[in-house]
Amino acid sequence: MKFKTHLLVAAVAAVALATGAAQSQEMKFWRIGTGGAGGTYFPIGGLIANAISSPPGSRSCAKGGTCGVPGLVAIAVSTNASVANMNAIHAGQLDAGLAGAQSVTQGYNGTGKFAGNKKDKVRVIANLYPEDMHLVLKNGLKLNSLKDLNGKKIGVAAAGSGTQVSVRMILKHYNIKADENELNLGQSTQRIADGQIDAFFYAGGTPFAALIQLGSTKGFSLYKFSDAERKAINKIIPYYVESMIPAGTYENIKTDTPTVAVNGQLVTNVDQPTDLVYGITKALWSKKTRGLLDKGHAKGKAIRMETALKGVLIPLHPGAEKFYKEVGLIK
């Protein structure tokens, strides 16, 4: 399986390798699966990777450096997102990854997309933030309901993504027959800009960098899910709950957009050492990381320790569980 790595974190590793201290302290690389470069998983994964890393030779937390795990070099890896990350983590091809709660729970239990193929070696480190479903429409296209997608050319997200699983469940529920295209976020925005598709679905933490760029060039609109549609989607996909993309999230979208959302979670393999995951969890919720998350991405502010266990429906990794017991989140 081929992945693209987050070059900034990889560069940190290279610098560390060049120092004499790198030879006196053991270095451990830790690969975090994210999503496409134009989405939210990739930059958030990069922020988390920086926060939990402390390469040999770097300044200590007390002296103004990161408060990461000594010797750890975490690397954000671009992947096809949730389903692909669950598969790779279970197989030991990635050390950790971001995934939607639906994929996490279904993967662990062997249901839905994972029927007969349990990913029961996956464990949760933390719940992160809500991921809003975007139904992006090309300029000038108006839909009165989801059923108006019949006959349209639409992007259904990348193969191996949790978004695609959910989108196909929605299309099936409404008996929508469309020209479906498996596209990542970057491909989706490019094709809608070029007029090759009419609309596309993508779920993730707002805002998408790719959509900000699209809004400043070709333009787009967002479909407003009706109350009835949001209730129906919640019924067929209980992990998706009613949500709202606020006006101004994208400069060209001036009104609130009713939608549905699923929580994104940070997961790992049960075979990862308890002490290592304990240290990673502690670093994730340090004051230093708080500053990185608040300044690094708009969705970073939504990643908070008080919601770290919200919507977690599978076991925590023992290292994470140890931390949450220490801070009183688990009695």
Domain 4-130+263-326 sits in CATH 3.40.190.10: yes
Using a 10 angstrom Cβ sphere, with 0-12 exposed, 13-18 middle and 19 or more buried, the burial of residue 59 is: exposed
**The pLDDT value given to residue 25:** 67
**The pLDDT value given to residue 161:** 87
Asked if residue 123 has pLDDT above 70, the reply is: yes
Cβ-count burial 181-210 (b if 16+ within 10 Å, e if not):
bebbbbbbbbbbbeeebbbbbbbbbbbbbb
**The pLDDT value given to residue 2:** 52
Structure tokens at 27: 């270095």
CATH 3.40.190.10 location in the chain: 4-130+263-326, 132-262
Asked if residue 21 has pLDDT above 50, the reply is: no
Residue 138 DSSP class: -
22 or 312: whose pLDDT is higher? Answer: 312
Architecture of domain 132-262: 3-Layer(aba) Sandwich (3.40)
Closest CA to 55 of 16, 81, 7: 16
Range scoring the smallest mean pLDDT among 39-43, 120-124, 275-279: 39-43
**The pLDDT value given to residue 4:** 54
For the segment 180-193, what is each residue's pLDDT rounded down to a tens digit?
A: 999 999 999 999 99
Dihedral of CA atoms 264, 269, 274, 280 in degrees, nearest 10, equals -40
| CA 287/CA 270 separation, integer angstroms | 27
* pLDDT band at residue 9 under the 50/70/90 scheme: very low
Q: How far is CA 138 from the centre of its chain?
A: 25
Altogether, the residues listed in the chain come to a count of 331
| CA 126/CA 108 separation, integer angstroms | 15
Q: What is the mean pLDDT of the chain?
A: 92
For the segment 197-255, what is each residue's pLDDT rounded down to a tens digit?
A: 999 999 999 999 999 999 999 999 999 999 999 999 999 998 888 999 999 999 999 99
| CA 123/CA 88 separation, integer angstroms | 13
**The pLDDT value given to residue 251:** 95
Positive or negative torsion for Cα 187, 192, 197, 199: positive
Structure tokens at 23: 């030879």
Using a 10 angstrom Cβ sphere, with 0-12 exposed, 13-18 middle and 19 or more buried, the burial of residue 174 is: middle
